[in-house]
Structure formats: C-alpha cells, structure tokens
Chains A and B, each alone.
Chain A
Amino acid sequence: MTGPQLDGLCVRGLRVTFDGFTAVDGIDLDVPPGDIRFLIGPNGAGKTTVVDAVTGLVRATGSARFGDRELLGRDVHRIARLGIGRTFQTASVFEELTVVQNLDIAAGATRNWWTLARRRNRIPDEVAAALETIGLTDRGDQLAGALAHGQKQWLEIGMLLVSDARLLLLDEPVAGMSHEERDATGALLETVSRDRTVVVIEHDMDFLRRFARSVTVLHAGKVLSEGTVAQVQADPRVQEVYLGVDTAPEA
C-alpha cells in the first residue's frame, strides 16, 4: 500500500485543565513522520489526556499541528477526517457487527448518502488488505464481540488503517495480551509505520524496549525526558520517577 504523504505531529505549549486541576501543563512534543513514539509515565502523568486533547475529546490551549493543519478547536469527527486515528484502553469495536462490517464502517466516513443507502455487495479492497495486515482474513464473517481480546485490539488498529488515518494514537494496545500477541502487535506497528506516524501509550517496558523508535516520558503533566530508549533509560530523573533505579540496568 502506498499511503499518502507522511506527516509528523507537532505539539506546542499544550495545556489541559479540568476544574482548576492542570492535567497537561504546557507540553511540547515533536513526533517526526514515520516514527513509533512511545509515551510513558506514571499514572496521572497526562498521557491519555494528551491524546484526548489532540483528538478533540477535551478542550486544550496551545497548538497541535499534524503536517500543516492545526487540530485544536475542531470537532472530534473533523479531526478524525484529517487523518488522526485513535484507539482506547478498552478495545472499542462494534461487538454486534462482524469484523468485515466493522472495517467497512471505518473505511466509509466520506461515503455519500447514496452509497450508504445501498448494500455492500463485496468486500472493498482496502478492507481486504486490512484484514490481511491484521491477520483476521479468515475471521471476516465473525461477530467482533466473539473475537479474543488481542484480536479486538488488532481489529481496532485495522479500523484505523482502512479509515486512512496517517497518525495513529494507540492507548495501551498490548494491555492484557499474551507474549505471542505482543510480538504480533509489535510487528504490526512496524508494518504500519512504513507509511504512517505512530504514537503509543504503553506501560509494558519490555514491549517498549523492543519496538519504540523514540520515547517521551511524561510526569505530572510535563515532559520529563525525551530521546531513544537508551537515552531515556540512562536519564537519572526518569529512573527516579518512573522506571525505578533497580529495573533500569537489567535491560
């Protein structure tokens, strides 16, 4: 698949406050095109809030640009149409629809009413390609609700692929997955990042060491450290607040 042009995410001075509590306190973030950026940090560091702000779910001040488009201040579905796709901590697929129906809906945000009023008489090419990519080709007719937990996460990523998202914001994609499923997910991220930019929120340090191209550590709503996995792990502030001094050398 030759995707459209590759863009990066550029966040400047992002600030989110809830009733006087500052969840995100002036964050700058540069995710270059094609990166696999991991966002880590202790609970309450503001990781998910950053994603919520970029996707329009919560109001924020500052700036978040994808390519040359400003994202802040737009409606959720308009941001999605600019090519920003996200997943949630709990896999949110349409459980009472089949895998193919899920993907077909994700592929169709720009369909006109005439197309919507008719039946889908074959599997669209992009849906078939996504089924292949996420390894669910033989599960197309199954209800999404009957999939295993890991497969639901893959389906959700597949839904972002067919929706032509060029920036993928994945919130804990491997939580609750088996070893094999984690490996498969990591490989999937690498495939996907060939023509897309990926940001992953993750707690799993082993997964991070293997698949992160760059890491941003958040702490109390601010960027604590940023760099490659090695650089971040070597940062004493990071060891102090997050990784813990004991666990760092064992990598």
Chain B
Amino acid sequence: MTAAPLVGTDPAAVTGSPPGGRRGRRFDGPARTAAGFALGAALLFAVAPLTLSDFRLSLLAKYLCVAMVAVGIGIAWGRGGMLTLGQGVFFGLGGYAMAMHLKLADAGPGELPDFMQLYGQLDELPLWWRPFASPWIALPATVLLPMAVAFGLGSLVFRRRVRGAYFAILSQALAAAMVILLVGQQGTTGGTNGLTDIQGFFGYDLDDPVNQRMVYFIIAASLLALLALARQLIRSRYGELLVAVRDGEERVRFLGYDPAGVKLVGYVIAAGMAGLAGALFVPAVGIISPALIGIVPSIEFVIGVAVGGRATLLGPVLGAVAVAWARTALSERFPGTWTYLQGLLFVLVVAFLPGGLASLWVLARQRRSDPAGARWWRRARPVDRAENRTEVSAA
C-alpha cells in the first residue's frame, strides 16, 4: 500500500483551497497553531488591556461575547449547514441563568430581588428561581440549560428532516416565543426591562474598573478555550462527518449513519457556546433583557458570522467583532444609518463573497503557494468533463 501520508485534515481543504495548497509550506501544523493562539492571547491579554480605555475594553468584552456565539454558529451553520437564526434563545438562557443567580446574590439570603419587591405581587421567591440561588447549580445551568433545550428541539426537528429555510424559520420562531414568554411573565422575569442593575459578581463589585478588567480576562480566556474546542471539533473525524452531512445528508444516510444524530451534536455544542457567552455577557454589561436575545440580535449574530466567513475557524470570530465594532463606531457618528449599512453589508457579502471575508485570505494563499497546484485545479474540471463528453459521443 503506497498511499501518500495524509497530513491531518486542513480546514482550508474544506473551504475550497486546492489540494496542492499545503505542499511545501514550512510553517505549518502544530507550530502554526501554537503561534496563532499565542498571537491571539498576546492581543487579548496584553495589547488590548494596555492600549484601550476602561470604556473601550468593556465594549471589547461585549464584542468577545458575541464572538463566542459566533464560534458556535460557525460550527452549526458553517460546518453543519444548520442556519440557526435563534441563537439568541441559548444566549438568553445562559444570560438569564447567570443574571438570576447574581440578582439573588445581590439581594442577599432570603430576600427577593429588587424588581420583585417593586412590582409587589410576590411574597416569596417563585419555585423555579430557587435553584439559581446556588452557584453550583446556576453556573453549570448557564451552559447545560441551553444545551438541553437545543437537544430537545433538535431531536424533534432533525429526525423529521426539517432543514434549510424551514429550520431557519423554526429557530427564529423560538427566539420570538422566548421573548414573548419573558415579557409576559413580568412579575418573575422583569418583563421588557429584563434583569438590570447587577451589582456584584461572586463577591466582586462590578462598578470597580479592576473587577471589570477581571471579567474581561475571563471572557477573553473563555473565547480562546472555545476556539481551541472548535478547532479540535473541526479537525476531528466528527468534523469531517459534519461537513459530509452538510453537503450530502442523504448520501451519509446511505452509508449507514443517522444524520439527525450528527447534526444534533453540532447544534447542541453551538447552543452551549451561546449559553456561556450569554452568561459572561451579564457581568460585562450588567443587564440581560428580551431586547438583547430576540430576533434582531439573533440575526445580528449570524450577520457577523457570514461577513467573517462561516466555514472557517477564525472567520466567525473576526466577523462578529468587526460587525459589532462597526455598529458601535458608526452608530456613534451616524445614528440611524447603521441598520441600513448592516443590511447592505450582509447583502453584499452573501451576493459577492459567499465564503465571507475569510475566503479572500484563502484565495490569496492559493495564488501565493504552489501555482502549479492551482493551475492543475483550474484545469481538472472543465477539460476532463469535455473529454468525457467527446468520448461518449464517439462511442
């Protein structure tokens, strides 16, 4: 058996770079990955805290939370083809779980959170709030609760072969339903206002800039951890299988797999990531409310991913941060026009650059490395087909 050794599975190979693209590159493999993570860590832990004001750093913390959601969407949508327009639900579940705990901690043992006292309809804490008084339940719940909901929904939906636009609409409807539920239960959820004015974070005063900085570092570390997890997932056999399900669900089924299970895993992981992001968003911003988790934010999560490049590892993160940053920068200067600009950006990317900005990078790499490989790639398809056609007609 003289098969050429396969050097891992390059994510670039899945995003469409020619197979020859990797050949002859010296700086590659584990060294490149380590360098990439080191660079990311240096930017997040040294450059950003040293150069940004406290205000800008807290904005960056918020963007990084959005980026964590984007990592999950990159897996579910970019790799698994599940266009999930309802990640706000999972973001919200994580956020509310965290906020409920922090509100209870702020209020002190046995006391009701301030908003419940304000509305004055309750004498004691509702039953479903009680578990969140314990950090040992609330913290795991920020991730496990979204995952459980995603598991329930996914089990119902994927086995019935709901996919494409139908899945997107369904996931969006879920976001709408969640908002309606939260607003309707004002007495116990804070309604439209949400859970606001969160003061402390496990004993640390969130008004203190030092503690805000600590929250930022926790968020940055979590994002890097999620990226490492996503990278492992993409490069694993499961990651290859997920792409196969995205591109040929029926074919995978005929090979003896149940594609519903494969998709379910990706969807649940994406939900867990969104939940963690929501949980960390709360101490960074001090509030969670229906407006932050409904249809519009759910779509904005996806726009960042599309702009950055959904099938790549870093594309969703950079896209999410860039779009969130542009949103702040532009709405400061031109309030009211950002929505239009965002829509325009989305349309342009979808129409002219379906692979997102990351595909520019892949293209550039193709040009630079191994021009022979690129030529071979360009030649292979049309000519081979043409040859076939002539020989068939001759036969």
List residues of chain A with CB under 8 Å of any chain B CB.
55, 75-77, 80-81, 85-86, 88, 92-98, 100-102, 104-106, 108-111, 113, 115-123, 125, 127-129, 131-132, 137-138, 140-143, 145-150, 159, 163, 176-179, 181
Contact = CB atoms under 8 A, between A and B. Distances in A.
Given A111-B237, A128-B1, A137-B3, A146 B19 contact: yes
Nearest to A136: B3
B118 interface: no
B24 interface: no
Given A116-B241, A119-B235, A123-B3, A77 B253 contact: yes
A119 B4 contact: no
B384 A77 contact: no
Contacts of A105: 237, 240-241, 244, 252, 255
B385 interface: yes
Which bucket holds chain B's interface residue count? Answer: 35 or more
A80 B244 contact: no
Contacts of A122: 5-6
Contacts of B5: 122-123
Contacts of B391: 178-179
Interface of B: 1-6, 8-9, 13-16, 18-19, 232-233, 235-238, 240-241, 243-244, 247-248, 250-258, 377, 380-381, 384-385, 387-389, 391-392, 395
Contact of B13 (A75, A131, A143): A143
B390 to A, nearest CB: 9
A122 B385 CA distance: 32
A229 B253 CA distance: 34
Contact of A81 (B19, B247, B250, B256): B256
Given A97-B14, A119-B9, A150 B257 contact: no
Given A108-B241, A116-B241, A118-B237, A98 B19 contact: yes
Closest 8 CB pairs of A and B: A109-B256, A80-B256, A178-B391, A148-B384, A116-B238, A128-B1, A81-B256, A142-B19
A148 B279 CA distance: 50
B380 A146 contact: yes
Nearest to A101: B240
Contact of B236 (A116, A127, A145): A116
A50 B104 CA distance: 64
A94 B236 contact: no
A76 B243 contact: no
B255 A109 contact: yes
A41 B257 CA distance: 32
Contacts of B1: 125, 128-129, 131-132, 137
A128 B258 CA distance: 25
B253 A119 contact: no
A118 B387 CA distance: 41
A178 B243 contact: no
Nearest to A162: B255
30 contacts: A76-B253, A77-B256, A80-B255, A80-B256, A88-B251, A96-B16, A96-B243, A97-B14, A97-B240, A97-B247, A101-B9, A101-B244, A108-B241, A113-B238, A117-B232, A117-B237, A119-B235, A119-B236, A120-B6, A120-B237, A121-B8, A123-B5, A132-B1, A132-B3, A137-B4, A143-B13, A148-B385, A149-B388, A178-B395, A181-B388
